[in-house]
């Protein structure tokens, strides 16, 4: 039977330090630190560059997520010039109609929708970054109604996905291509918000 170790003994101190290190890793979720700690000492010097690349990739993915989030927000808030500025100079755009620029997309969409309310959302992005280019697939859902007097008699509630390409230019990500495929479209009545009360 083992005798009770003194808390001042070297063996006890060594186990205590080890337990504290493990607890720190578990609480902090330190994947990078865990990977570093499990490497042989001779290979540890390669960790910083690997970690830097992983951090750069995560930063790129987040910036691309922000670009697409703005795309949806600018559509619904009718910020047409901001929407146009999200695209490269010569993008590929096919969202049920084909456009040759972000400016054309913004102008034609503004003419079609006016101030009619819409709701666009993107989900579950699968983003891959390859240097200054990236691709993404977004699950999407949109709810579109048209203004009174529109040639469209009904609005629609759509489901599908975007297949996008992105390009980094001067340190910023832009949409280089977006293709929308709809899997399902349900008809909904057109609706316009009531005029504000005075």
* pLDDT at residue number 48: 55
Local confidence band at 63 (pLDDT 50, 70, 90 cut-offs): very high
Provide the strand spans (E) within 5-152: 87-94, 98-99, 118-130, 133-144
| CA–CA gap between residue 21 and residue 32 (Å, rounded) | 14
pLDDT higher than threshold 50 for residue 190: yes
Does the CA dihedral 4-6-10-16 come out positive or negative? positive
Which pLDDT score is estimated for 28? 45
pLDDT tens digits, 161-186? 999 999 999 999 999 999 999 999 99
- Band the pLDDT of 189: cuts 50, 70, 90: confident
What are phi and psi for residue 185, nearest 5 degrees?
-135, 120
**Banded model confidence at residue 138, pLDDT cuts 50, 70, 90:** very high
pTM recorded for the entire structure: 0.72
Q: Which residue, 70, 143, 78, is CA-closest to 106?
A: 78
- Residue 183 CB: number of other CB atoms within 10 A? 10
């Amino acid at each position: 039977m083992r005798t009770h170790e003194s808390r001042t003994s070297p063996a006890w101190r060594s186990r205590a330090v080890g337990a504290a290190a493990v607890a720190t890793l578990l609480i902090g979720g330190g994947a990078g630190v865990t990977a570093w700690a499990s490497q042989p000492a001779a290979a540890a010097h390669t960790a910083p560059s690997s970690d830097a690349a992983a951090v750069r990739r995560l930063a790129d993915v987040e910036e691309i997520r922000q670009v697409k989030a703005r795309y949806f927000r600018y559509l619904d808030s009718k910020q047409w010039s901001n929407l146009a500025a999200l695209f490269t100079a010569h993008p590929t755009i096919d969202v049920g109609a084909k456009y040759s620029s972000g400016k054309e997309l913004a102008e034609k969409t503004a003419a079609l929708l006016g101030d009619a309310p819409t709701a666009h959302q993107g989900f579950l992005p699968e983003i891959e970054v390859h240097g200054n280019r990236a691709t993404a697939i977004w699950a999407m859902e949109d709810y579109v109604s048209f203004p009174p007097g529109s040639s469209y008699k009904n609005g629609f509630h759509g489901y599908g996905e975007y297949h996008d390409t992105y390009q980094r230019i001067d340190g910023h990500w832009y949409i280089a291509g977006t293709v929308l495929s709809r899997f399902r479209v349900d008809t909904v009545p057109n609706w316009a918000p009531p005029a504000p009360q005075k």
